[in-house]
A and B are shown apart, each in its own frame.
Chain A
Amino acid sequence: MINIEKLHKSFGSNEVLKGIDLDVKEKEVVAIIGPSGSGKSTLLRCMNYLEQPTSGMVSVDGIVLNEADINKVREEVGMVFQRFNLFPHMTVLQNIMLAPLKVRHADKAETEQTARQLLKRVGLADKADAWPNQLSGGQQQRVAIARALAMKPKVMLFDEPTSALDPEMVGEVLDVMRQLAESGMTMVVVTHEMGFAREVADRILFVDQGVILEQGTPEQVFDHPQQERTQTFLSKVL
């Protein structure tokens, strides 16, 4: 579903990604873990071209990403941000309906029906007419997930979706993501929630200093890490 070859990304003279090769299969759930500044968010953001690779290739569902038809690819790739990024001047329902209406030119009644179903799915059926700032962080993030799902994406990218949340709200967001994984969505999740990664992910990537240092099933990476840096990192966060 997502194919990455020899991906390099530099910001000025600072090389953040130093040659990444990665294949994410359909319905696979990949969790990317690693220390701050390791490049894991940058890697995720390259997958929908929010960051332009300095060199190398990224393709999604067989389409190689480039400047020209990036919007087509982004329609198929949902993204959820650390800080929700809901549109504050629109109600919850309008937030969800905007992209399907403007990008897909979908039918309005149908879009609204889908939006309400999605809100029900994330447990916020009664918040359709609320404004984003009337919601808690956890509720906002669930709306953001619904908003991304409204485009019926083939892949969902999550950039530290629970890092900006109060601890008691982390669970409700992870629950929604768990359901999504169970429904067969292809997901790439940058996260610090090791429990969630172990339980939900099919594969764990440990990224450090711009390279994928180690990868494998949760059991392999969490229980039998091969690299010393992985062991040090895990001993600090587990």
Chain B
Amino acid sequence: MQFNWDLVVNSFPLLLVGAGVTIKITAMSVALGVIIGLFVGIARICHFKPLRFVAAVYVDFFRGTPLLVQIFLVYFALPVITGQRIDPYVAAVGACGINSGAYVAEIFRAGIQSIDEGQMEAGRSLGMTWVQTMRYIIVPQAFKRVIPPLGNEFIALLKDSSLVSVIGFEELTRRGQLIIAKTYGSLEIWISVAIVYLVMTLTISRFVAYLERRFATDDQH
């Protein structure tokens, strides 16, 4: 067995381009996931039963089916219904974001429910509406508590974004595959790909740890 260092060095720029794409779709999916997750999470505990039901179905469906299948559904099945091709980028971010939204919703729900009931009562007793109390009192406090689980979710999403390579989207994993197709350097390239993923996930987990410390000291809880 021979390890071809030149191949690693030469293909590194291309892998970095792929890593850039991975970061981009992860960031977009995270943003989409957090927005969806916040609203679905709140819907899961609101007093309006139909909304609660819809939110529960959403969470069940997207947690209960594989992301890979969801990507196929968005990219291949949806166009059959709409009669329109879907951009791979939109499909990738859409599928990952919607999937992540289900997990984030559960994180937010748990975070919100962990806030002392007295906070809601205090807000309501001052004449604020349920929505106002959620917005100004409950959610800001819940946000701090969900930073660690949200961090885990982002790391999972970054890794899972490798699945969008199946629809030909040229993120890091797909780049690796393409380079291997030309050079047959499976060993070198897959090791390189793994290391690039590792660097990204470690960066995120360090950043989350930093945020956790910062918010922890901010109001001395």
- Which A residues form the contact surface with B (CB < 8 A)? 48, 50, 71-72, 74-75, 77-79, 81, 83, 85-89, 98-99, 102-103, 131, 133-134, 144, 147-148, 151
Contact = CB atoms under 8 A, between A and B. Distances in A.
A203 to B, nearest CB: 23
Interface residues of B, number: 21
B207 interface: no
Contact of B220 (A50, A134, A144): A134
B51 to A, nearest CB: 17
Contacts of A50: 121, 124-125
A92 B135 CA distance: 19
B140 interface: yes
B122 A102 contact: no
B219 A87 contact: no
A82 to B, nearest CB: 9
Contacts, number: 69
Contacts of B124: 50, 74
A216 to B, nearest CB: 29
A221 to B, nearest CB: 28
B81 to A, nearest CB: 41
A89 B132 contact: no
A99 B129 CA distance: 10
A102 B132 contact: yes
Contacts of B123: 87, 99
A87 B122 contact: yes
Contact of B219 (A74, A83, A133, A147): A133
B119 A151 contact: no
